[in-house]
Structure 1
Amino acid sequence: MELFPTSALNPGVRKREVFGWAMYDFANSGYTTVVITAVFAAYFVGDLAKGAPWGAFAWTLSLSIAYAIVMFTMPVIGAWADLRAAKKRVLMLATAACVLSTAALALTPRASGIAAVALAMLLVVVSNTFYSYGESLTGAFLPELATADGMGKVSGWGWAFGYIGGMLTLGLCLAYVLWAQAQGLPASHFVPVTMLVTAAMYGVAACATFALLPERARPVADAGRVSWGDSWRQLRQTFEQARAFSDFMWLLACTVAYQGGVAVAITLAAVYAEQVIGFKPQETMVLIFALNLAAAIGAFGFGYLQDCIGHKVSLSATLVAWIAVCLIAGSVTSKGGFWCAAAIAGLSMGSSQSAGRAMTGVLAPPQQLGQFFGLWSFATRLASIIGPLSYGVITWMAGGNQRVAIFATTGLFIAGLLLLVPIDMRRGRVAALGAAR
């Protein structure tokens, strides 16, 4: 099987460009794997917040603030980048800001008490905001590279590369953590080092993207005179125009629902594993490593499968699997049982995220990719507020009982399944191509 079959690419697109694009997923996945999922999340709740009942809420609140910022600014940035053909330039700036603020997380153990919590929340807000900008901007390159029939494959390559990058970064961090623990060093010593490793991997790997991925878009006439006010007006027009694309709008609603559940898994898996199931930090890192391996397999495999059976059917299957994950995770008490849930979650995570991005590329009008992917980013960030924040609130109200919260998360995936039903991919693609004429 050819890794990058030419038939999946648009005319004139070289394989090196696709590799460069996929390398950005490789680069930024270390951030979500180490900072958001495996290491800093558990350190924040268990060490900085001292395991207080409000710890999970404070963690999810900091993420929600970042997602709210992105939700209201990314569509405008997407419109501005479309008008000026500046997706790559903005991507470079967002990457630099995320790398620097991630490295700055190494400073949090130097503070104490509430000051340490406040500093960590501030840096998480900043780093996650710029990470999210980069994620949305790189997604907007997808339809420029892949054909409509090949978007599932190409999107799957990106997610698979991403999980490999996440595993590599996490593996390096795990090696250091095991060495540090053998020396009797506390988390306040080895967690800052993992932040520096993550920042370095992100910055170095992203250079491949900047070197190989061209900006294929062309600026509109008089784009040099376009102001942010013009971008806001275009954003409002985009929302109005998007309402005419019913299948795209149903996809956005579906995304808000199911991505809320996925966000819970990404942001709280380590917290749940350590505080409810009893995992130790090094066991959690091994668990997340395995989860990323399963996610890479799921993203790559389902990337090919969804182009054969259809994006909608593929996404439906993964949402059913997510429901099973929530029910298993909320019921088991043993580490082995939780490992089973994590394995299914890994396969589902890669495939559901890959399918959602590919469906967006199919249903978005070709001349408004940055803007419509900005709307998709709006939906995913809204989901990332609703899912984790509701989890944190439910946990706090339940006196720290996270099993109640994980069972409640099942409802988000059920809602996603129901909202997926009205989508007709063929009709939506015809509407998107018609808008370009």
Structure 2
Amino acid sequence: MTDVPMRKRIMGWMMFDWASQPYNTLLLTFIFGPYFAEIVTNRGIANGLPVGLAKAEAQSLWGIGLTISGVMIAMMAPTLGAVADSAGRRMPYIYVFSLLYIVGSAGLWLAVPDAVNTTLILGFFIIGLIGMEFATIFTNAMLPDLGPRSEIGRISGTGWAMGYVGGLFALILCLCFLAADGKGKTLLGISPLFGLDTEAREGTRSVGPFTALWFIIFMIPFFLWVREDEPPVKRKKGAIKEGLIGLLATIKRLPKSPSLTAYLSSSMLYRDALNGMYTFGGFYAFGVLGWSVIDVGVFGLLTVASGALFAWLGGHADRAYGPKPVILVCIILLILAAVGVVCIARDSVLGIMTPEGSIIPDIAFYGCGVLIGAAGGVLQSASRTMLVRQGNPDRMTEAFGLYALAGKATSFLAPLLIAFATDISNSQRIGVSPVIGLFVLALVLLVWVKPEGEDKSVWAIAT
């Protein structure tokens, strides 16, 4: 990166988190996900399914869509990362995957209430999700270039906090002025702006184009201020072959890198479990507690706000104690939160019956959401700084490609287990319980992770 002051480079890099977070906040978790559950459930009921089975069908279909995207990302991520390292360029990939982000999110406008072609809707969602995930890989790989090793945790935590704040602002705007409940009113009790048709749910559907527009606007600082240094040697030919050879060598060397291998395996499980909690949280609240899109959105406000605050605090804890203790504490907290979620129903909390119409289950679920947001934000921020310590410093994009592979190689696992458990039990509560086991296994694998990573001699042959 040249000709731009370091402070501006860092701020530009952080703006990617701000620009991209609404895909997770608005589409994956708090507004579009529950809305998709609603339209698929209504379709199932119209086709004669009982309400419970219709809701379970919606959750299963969502899980299938996430499984497909996860498999595609897992197949391509490490290869693209290796090729980018060999070619010495990341920005061209960021441009391409940013375009996929925009097309995929904008296409969700087509999710009309009586949508028959849910395959098309899921297709657009998958395209946007792939764009977001791959753009994230290449921007994360720039992290080591933004400061000394001692400051990476703080930079990562602040960037992640900015992402949460961006997602929070986007969620507030959508809840107050666009997304409507069953009565056609937003959180402010008004009709959606711009004359959007409430019968056609245009206000809620507009979160897709809104997410695309948000990304376009707030990626401008990134593309203005983030620059790559010229590679020492311009490589116009052979980058693909060289990248694949380097990737193969790295994979073969993994058994000799027990700390990196253990970390990739652990992060594979705990990120999968965390994503399962994020992506099915709205579905769970809609199906088990009977919440509306607006109710889920308010839940999202609390979750994202706690994530923003604690991601920033976690970045300072990361700088003070290192990422490994931070990750351990976060996983333990998430296990407790997952157990709490499974033990919440409309008529009980932790097995204790509540009076009919009681708000205690709602308050308990809000509490779990705050805990998930706080621990999840810190966990994800600390995870990318941990990878900086574990990976080969000369092939960092490849390392983040492997990190994405670890995150996506089994990213189908949580959705698949949730879909399977839901189908077998016909219960959304039991359906989300597999995430607890994934967190516990991840905790065990962290025992073999060295806080400071592998000895640099391990990477000598690679470079």
- TM-score by structure 1 length? 0.91
C-alpha separation in 2, matches of 1:34 and 1:23: 17
Q: Where in structure 2 are there 5+ consecutive unaligned residues?
A: 43-53, 192-196, 346-360
Kindly indicate whether residue 279 of structure 2 is the aligned counterpart of residue 267 of structure 1: yes
Residue from 85, 90, 99 that aligns with 1:87? 90
How many residue pairs get matched?
Answer: 422
Instruction: Name the structure 2 match of 1:214.
Output: 227
C-alpha separation in 1, matches of 2:227 and 2:413: 35
Instruction: Name the structure 1 match of 2:437.
Output: 411
Q: 1:383 to 1:290 in 2, by over 3 A?
A: farther
Deviates more, 1:306-315 or 1:343-352: 306-315
SS of the residue corresponding to residue 254 of structure 1 reads helix
C-alpha separation in 2, matches of 1:217 and 1:316: 39
Kindly indicate whether residue 414 of structure 2 is the aligned counterpart of residue 422 of structure 1: no
Kindly indicate whether residue 302 of structure 2 is the aligned counterpart of residue 290 of structure 1: yes
C-alpha separation in 1, matches of 2:269 and 2:377: 17
Instruction: Name the structure 2 match of 1:320.
Output: 332
Alignment check: 8 A CA contact 2:107 2:121 kept: no
Alignment check: 8 A CA contact 1:279 1:335 kept: no
Alignment of 1:107-122 (within 5 A): 107-109=110-112, 112-113=115-116, 115=117, 117-122=118-123
C-alpha separation in 2, matches of 1:136 and 1:427: 20
Kindly indicate whether residue 418 of structure 2 is the aligned counterpart of residue 391 of structure 1: yes
Instruction: Name the structure 1 match of 2:198.
Output: 185
C-alpha separation in 2, matches of 1:188 and 1:143: 44
Residue from 256, 267, 272 that aligns with 1:255? 267
Q: Which amino acid counterpart does residue 86 of structure 2 have in structure 1?
A: L
Deviations 1:20-44 (A, max 9, x none): 1111011100011111001111111
Q: Which amino acid counterpart does residue 39 of structure 2 have in structure 1?
A: D
Deviates more, 1:423-432 or 1:367-376: 423-432
Q: 1:239 to 1:436 in 2, by over 3 A?
A: closer
Q: Where in structure 1 are there 5+ consecutive unaligned residues?
A: 1-11
Alignment check: 8 A CA contact 1:364 1:432 kept: no
Deviates more, 1:301-310 or 1:350-359: 301-310
Give the superposition deviation at 1:405: 2.4
SS of the residue corresponding to residue 216 of structure 1 reads coil
C-alpha separation in 1, matches of 2:130 and 2:250: 22
Q: Which amino acid counterpart does residue 342 of structure 1 have in structure 2?
A: G
Alignment of 1:363-378 (within 5 A): 363-378=390-405
Deviates more, 1:267-276 or 1:421-430: 421-430
Q: 1:155 to 1:429 in 2, by over 3 A?
A: farther
Alignment of 1:149-228 (within 5 A): 149-177=150-178, 180-181=184-185, 182-183=190-191, 185-186=198-199, 188-216=201-229, 218=231, 220=233, 223-226=235-238, 228=240
Deviations 1:177-223 (A, max 9, x none): 367524482463222211111110011111111111111361645x2
Alignment check: 8 A CA contact 2:39 2:115 kept: no
C-alpha separation in 2, matches of 1:275 and 1:404: 12
C-alpha separation in 1, matches of 2:461 and 2:329: 31
Instruction: Name the structure 2 match of 1:104.
Output: 107
Alignment check: 8 A CA contact 1:259 1:383 kept: no
Instruction: Name the structure 2 match of 1:4.
Output: none
Instruction: Name the structure 1 match of 2:291.
Output: 279
Give the superposition deviation at 1:110: 7.9
Give the superposition deviation at 1:230: 4.2
How many percent of aligned residue pairs carry the same amino acid?
22
Q: 1:368 to 1:195 in 2, by over 3 A?
A: same
SS of the residue corresponding to residue 394 of structure 2 reads helix
Alignment check: 8 A CA contact 2:12 2:226 kept: yes
Alignment check: 8 A CA contact 1:97 1:130 kept: yes
C-alpha separation in 1, matches of 2:328 and 2:99: 36
Q: Which amino acid counterpart does residue 216 of structure 1 have in structure 2?
A: D
Alignment check: 8 A CA contact 1:101 1:123 kept: yes
Deviations 1:284-341 (A, max 9, x none): 1111121111111121101110221221111000000001101111112310010110
Give the superposition deviation at 1:129: 1.0
Alignment of 1:300-379 (within 5 A): 300-333=312-345, 334-379=361-406
Deviates more, 1:264-273 or 1:236-245: 236-245
Kindly indicate whether residue 154 of structure 2 is the aligned counterpart of residue 128 of structure 1: no
SS of the residue corresponding to residue 32 of structure 1 reads helix
SS of the residue corresponding to residue 335 of structure 2 reads helix
C-alpha separation in 2, matches of 1:246 and 1:366: 17
Deviations 1:77-119 (A, max 9, x none): 1112112222112111111221122101102218732x1x111
Give the superposition deviation at 1:248: 0.9
Alignment check: 8 A CA contact 1:83 1:219 kept: no
C-alpha separation in 1, matches of 2:63 and 2:139: 25
C-alpha separation in 1, matches of 2:364 and 2:83: 48
Deviates more, 1:22-31 or 1:178-187: 178-187
Q: 1:389 to 1:313 in 2, by over 3 A?
A: same
Residue from 17, 27, 37 that aligns with 1:25? 17
Alignment check: 8 A CA contact 1:98 1:126 kept: yes
SS of the residue corresponding to residue 154 of structure 2 reads helix
Instruction: Name the structure 1 match of 2:351.
Output: none
- TM-score by structure 2 length? 0.86
